[in-house]
Amino acid sequence: MYFGEQPVAEAEGAILAHSRRLNGRALKKGRVLNNEDLTALKAAGIERVVCARLEENDIPEDKAADLLAGACCGPQVRVGPAFTGRANLFAEADGIVLYDPERLDAFNLVDESITLGLVTPHQAVTRGQMIGTLKIIPFAVPESPVRIAEALASQDTPLLRVAPFQPRNTIMIQSRLPGTKESVLDSTLRVTSDRLDTLGSALVSEARCEHNHDSLMNALRRAVAADPKLILVSGASAVVDRRDVIPSAIESVGGEILHFGMPVDPGNLMLIGSIGNIPVIGMPGCARSPKLNGFDWALQRLCAGIDIQPRDIMRMGAGGLLKDVPHRPLPRASARRTDNAPAAREPEARRPNIAAILLAAGQSSRMGVTNKLLSTLDGKPLVRWVAEAVLGSTAGRLIVVTGHEATKVSAALSGLDAEFVHNPQFALGMSTSVKAGFSALHDGTDAALVCLGDMPTITAQMLDALIAAYDPVEGRAIMVPVHGGKRGNPILWDHRFFEEMQELDGDKGARGLLAEFAHLVAEVDAPDNAVHLDIDTPEMLADAGGTLEKAE
């Protein structure tokens, strides 16, 4: 790849290396310069620009990122569309992230231009959570290192996968000594039930017995007879030796002790064994608390169907000092609490919380007497096409702003998971509907997609491409689709612009903000004209193959 300074007159088709602000517009780095761009640069008095040109056998950054990220993806991993050489990887199930760190190192050692960062191996993640990011550093990379990295990522099995949590019916046994408070056992029961719940498993029964060999042995026999998938034993006194009460009771009913102790604190005194094919865990005392401890690491793996060997436990020392870590084992545990106690969230590389605002309030005066949103394409109302595209995307919430013929529009979207906000001032212009939609957003919304109800050919894939490219930390705070050099809709807005949306007026929407904040706008290539096709007239509807019949 050529990289260097070139005269503007010779730069057509080159890749701009650094963003340039011109009069009323911005040329972003990575842009392939066209004749219009060169004219604007010359008009601004710029004679030379730093740029890049691909050479034979170079692979463009996005193409290389898509290729390598796809090669890395194993079961239950999804890759987002590449943008500026970055492709993010997401978990497709609640579960445990699995990969070989040495294999990851080998991948990253292929060439400095190819990088892959992943969350810690064996980390518990939730569906939709970002678990990795693949970044191609320059604008292009030679084919040879790409092919080597591709082979390393895909050989035998893909480099990265997520092992989903599998339901495990669990029985818990708690022992007690004279003076043991039932309230302590009740609390341990609740905490353990919550832990299992976050992992998709259930505590089906609990038994309490005296903390002696015979009582525990009898309780274990009854538990085994019920044929659970897991048995947990919480002792009134911590296990301090393989010959202590709990391990000896397990062996007395035909079980075996696989390992005692672990290099994780809290959690040092955990015991793991089995009775037949039923795993048994002797819980450390710290498991009475919801705070993360070594027991969580073992429980998460078992609930993901991952076999635990002594060597696996003995290798948990890296990162095994968990003292004073306040968070629960999984972030969604806090959402399931039924008491009023606060629960801290575990830090995670989460997917942004994106809402979609569907503007469906207009009078469609250019369509005549017919409400264009209720006109049909292949038997389906136009507005429903857009709503279904949103619901098929990774956007987390759909807000529909109604106005003109609100009841009929709502009926056209019946059965869909949408929230409706009525705009009584719809006749005053689009800005009033934009305000109504943004006013309905929940606290904590990171960004919002503003979609038009008369664009029935918009796809979920196009919406996902906008969402995947969104990264306000890297300066991509407004995402705009582009086809044929012309910007279109929908547009994604970072939360920093929500207040500005409340100051709009008239019928121009938020287009003025694109010029005002040009340095934060990033363009995403659209594969077709769908981002421009808003149906405003009967002729346009007919050209698209639709009819003026209203939805029932």
Neighbours of 120 (CB within 10 A): 11
Could you tell me the two tokens for 270?
């955990």
What is the pLDDT at residue 234? 96
pLDDT band at 362 (very low <50, low <70, confident <90, very high): confident
Average pLDDT, the chain: 89
Burial class (CB in 10 A: 0-12, 13-18, 19+), 343: middle
Report the SS3 class of residue 288. helix
**104-113, 344-353, 372-381, 539-548: the lowest-pLDDT one:** 344-353
416 phi and psi, to 5 degrees?
-95, 150
pLDDT for 332 equals 45
Question: Which CATH superfamily is 58-164 part of?
Answer: Pyrimidine nucleoside phosphorylase-like, C-terminal domain (3.90.1170.30)
CB atoms inside a 10 Å sphere around CB 57: 11
* 365 pLDDT above the threshold of 70: no
Q: Using alpha carbons, list the distances in angstroms from residue 70 to 12, 78, 122, 158.
A: 32, 8, 21, 9
Helix (H, G, I), strand (E, B) or coil at 488: coil
How many other C-beta atoms can be found within 10 angstroms of the C-beta atom of residue 345? 15
**Residue-level pLDDT at 142:** 96
Q: Give the span between the Cα atoms of 517 and 172, in whole angstroms.
A: 58
In 3D space, the residue among 347, 290, 352 whose CA is nearest the CA of residue 119 turns out to be 347
pLDDT in tens, 177-232: 998 899 999 999 999 999 999 999 999 999 999 999 999 999 999 999 999 999 99
CB of 317 within 8 A of CB of 268? no
State the Cα angle at 98 between 93 and 99, rounded to 5°.
140
Alpha-helix runs per DSSP H in 129-244 = 143-154, 182-198, 213-225
Instruction: Output the pLDDT for position 175.
Output: 96
Mean pLDDT of 368-376: 77
Using the predicted structure, report yes or no on whether residue 368 has a pLDDT greater than 70: no
Domain 2-53 and domain 58-164, same fold? Reply is no
Average pLDDT over residues 493-498: 93
Apex CA 137: angle with CA 132 and CA 142, to 5°? 110
| 199 in Cβ contact with 192 (< 8 Å) | no
Q: What pLDDT, in 10s, does the model give residues 206-219?
A: 999 999 999 999 99
Question: What's the pLDDT band for 549 if we cut at 50, 70, 90?
Answer: very low
Going from N- to C-terminal start, the domains of the chain cover 2-53, 58-164, 169-336, 354-547
The reply to whether omega before 490 is within 30° of 0 (cis) is: yes
- Yes or no: say if 82 and 69 are a contact pair by the CB < 8 Å rule: yes
Mean pLDDT of 47-65: 94
The tokens for 481 are 């689709």
The predicted pLDDT at position 476 comes to 87
Q: Does 307 have pLDDT greater than 50?
A: yes
How far, in Å, CA of 374 to CA of 370, rounded? 8
pLDDT of residue 328: 47
The pLDDT assigned to 337 comes to 40
Pairwise CA distance, residues 337 & 290, whole Å: 11
Total-model pTM: 0.75
Quickly state the pLDDT bin for 339 (edges 50, 70, 90): very low
Between these two residues, 365 and 239, which has the higher pLDDT value? Answer: 239
pLDDT at 547: 55
Least confident of 76-85, 324-333, 528-537, 540-549: 324-333
Query: Which band of pLDDT confidence, cut at 50, 70 and 90, is reported for residue 367?
Result: low
> Is the separation of the CB atoms in 174 and 206 below 8 Å?
yes
* Position 533 confidence tier, pLDDT thresholds 50, 70, 90: confident
Q: In 45-159, which ranges are continuous DSSP H helix?
A: 61-72, 101-108, 143-154
Residue with tokens 């199930």: 93
Asked whether 139 and 146 are in contact (CB, 8 A), the reply is: no
| Identity of residue 413 | L
Question: What would be the CATH architecture of the domain defined by 2-53?
Answer: Alpha-Beta Complex (3.90)
Tell me the CA distances in angstroms from 229 to 93, 195, 199, 471, 543, one per residue in order: 21, 16, 14, 43, 60
Predicted confidence band at 468 (pLDDT cuts at 50, 70, 90)? confident
For residue 343, what pLDDT band results from cuts at 50, 70 and 90? very low
Residue 167: count of CB within 10 angstroms of its CB:
12
Phi-psi region of 170 (alpha: psi -120 to 50; beta: other; left: phi over 0): beta
pLDDT greater than 50 at residue 89: yes
Angle of the 61-72 helix axis to the 143-154 helix axis, nearest 10: 20
Residues 348-361, mean pLDDT to the nearest whole number = 82
For residue 420, the model assigns a pLDDT of: 96
Lowest mean pLDDT, pick from 32-36, 86-90, 540-544: 540-544
CATH 3.40.980 fits 169-336, yes or no: yes
Asked if residue 375 has pLDDT above 70, the reply is yes
- For residue 292, give the 3-state DSSP assignment: coil
Amino acid at 315: R
Q: pLDDT grade, residue 19 (50/70/90)?
A: confident
3-class state of residue 328 by DSSP: coil
Point out the least confidently predicted range of 43-52, 144-153, 543-552: 543-552
Helix axes 101-108, 143-154, angle to 10 degrees: 170
How much is the pLDDT for 473?
A: 76
Domain 354-547 sits in which CATH superfamily? Spore Coat Polysaccharide Biosynthesis Protein SpsA; Chain A (3.90.550.10)
Q: What is the pLDDT of residues 22-41, one digit of tens each?
A: 876 778 888 899 998 899 99
Instruction: Render the burial of 63-72: b for 16+ CB within 10 Å, e for the rest.
Output: bbbbbbbbbb
